[in-house]
Amino acid sequence: MLLRLDKVAKFYGRKIIFKGVSLELEAGRILLLCGANGAGKSTLLKIMAGLIRPDAGRAAHTLTTNGRLGYMGHQTFIYPAMNALENLRFWAGMHGLEYRASDLAALLQRVNLLPFAAEKAGAFSRGMAQRLNLARILLLEPELLLLDEPATGMDAPSRAMLEAEIIAAAARGAGIVWISHSLEADLPRAHQAALLEGGRLAFLGSATDYARLLTGAGA
């Protein structure tokens, strides 16, 4: 088991955001996390990432190597005053990873940013910054990927590249929790689905069951 949440609850002061959230994720599986705006998806993802602590319950992941956790949040984590390559080099260094310049260039090529390697990241569009963010995560060869609407600002080719990377990561054995704003398009790629609604986990099961539920409700 890669990731396990056990009766996790989160409050904002005295207000409940959600409670009693339990789920498990195995290596190589993609879990699509659904819910309306403000249901607490992002908060739940931050708890999974260990960024904030749950007010009740337990959240634990079992990574073989510490730090192999890739989290893409609402923000791009990019230093605007550094260029794309310097950004990657800094994060690699902070993670204690040794990378040659050619490795970093190949990584930038993977996210189609190589022509902009020497440009200040502050001049990047949202989609480009998000791609650089993706490169920063791929750098870690993550075992667990936590993606909070990763396609934000990306154009169609970039989105296709992102989805290919997600599927490839799962094929390599990474566990993935994915919050997506284009549910119909991404549901077929997921193995599991979870719906956060009304302060609790309203659905947890296979992605195909959830798709059936959605079409059933729509009909």
Partner 1 sequence: MQRRVSYIYAAPVPALLGGLLMAASQLMIVLVAPVEERMGLIQKIFYLHLPLAWWGLFSFFMVFVCSLLYLLRRDFFWDALSEAAAACGLLLAVLALATGSIWARISWNTWWTWDPRLTTTLVLCFIYAGFLLIRRMDMTPERRGGVSAALGIIAFLDVPLVFFSARLWPQTIHPQVVTQGQGGGLDPSMRLTLICCLISFGFLWAALLTLRFRLGRLEEVLNARLLVQEPETAGNHPQNNEEKNNG
Partner 2 sequence: MIRAALLMARKDLLLLCARGAGLAQALLLGLLLLFIFSLARGIAEEFSAQAASAVFWMATLFCQVLIFNALYALEEDNGQRQALLMLPVPEQSIWAGKGLAGMVILLAAQGVFIPATVVFLDQDIQGGLLGGLRLILTADLGLAAAGSLLGALAQGRAARESLLSVIIFPLLLPLLLAAIRLGAEAISGAGLEEAENWFRLLLVFDGLFLAAGLALFGFIYNAQE
Which residues of the chain form contacts with partner 1 (CB under 8 A)?
11-17, 19, 36-40, 52, 55, 197-199
Q: How far is the CB of 81 from partner 2 (least distance, A)?
A: 5
If one asks whether residue 116 binds partner 2 (CB under 8 A), the answer comes out as no
Query: Smaller CB distance to partner 2: residue 65 or 109?
Result: 65
If one asks whether residue 73 binds partner 2 (CB under 8 A), the answer comes out as yes
Give the residue, chosen from 20, 93, 157, 188, that forms a contact with partner 2 under the rule CB under 8 A.
Answer: 93
Query: Smaller CB distance to partner 1: residue 15 or 100?
Result: 15
In which element (H, E) is residue 186 found? Answer: helix 183-186
Q: Which residue has the tokens 């919050």?
A: 179
Residue pair 155/126 in contact by the 8 Å Cβ criterion: no
Residue 40 contacts which entry, partner 2, partner 1, none (Cβ below 5-8 A, type-dependent): partner 1
Q: Which residue has the tokens 């605007």?
A: 80
Length of the chain: 219
In which element (H, E) is residue 166 found? Answer: helix 156-171
Q: How far is the CB of 13 from partner 1 (least distance, A)?
A: 4
Q: How far is the CB of 154 from partner 2 (least distance, A)?
A: 16
SS (H, E, C) 90-144: HHHHHCCCCCCHHHHHHHHHHCCCHHHCCCEHHHCCHHHHHHHHHHHHHCCCCCE
DSSP state at residue 74:
S
| CA 68 to each of CA 33, 148, 150, 181: distance values in angstroms, whole numbers, following the listed order | 21, 17, 18, 25
Query: Smaller CB distance to partner 2: residue 134 or 193?
Result: 134
Q: What angle (nearest 5°) sits at the alpha carbon of residue 146, between those of residues 66 and 169?
A: 80
Q: How far is the CB of 203 from partner 1 (least distance, A)?
A: 15
Residue among 217, 147, 209 at smallest CA distance from 181:
147
Residue 71 contacts which entry, partner 2, partner 1, none (Cβ below 5-8 A, type-dependent): partner 2
Q: How far is the CB of 9 from partner 1 (least distance, A)?
A: 9
Site for partner 2 in 11-50 (CB under 8 A): 46, 49-50
Please give the residue ranges that form the binding site for partner 2 (CB under 8 A).
Answer: 46, 49-52, 66-67, 69, 71, 73-82, 90-91, 93-96, 129, 136
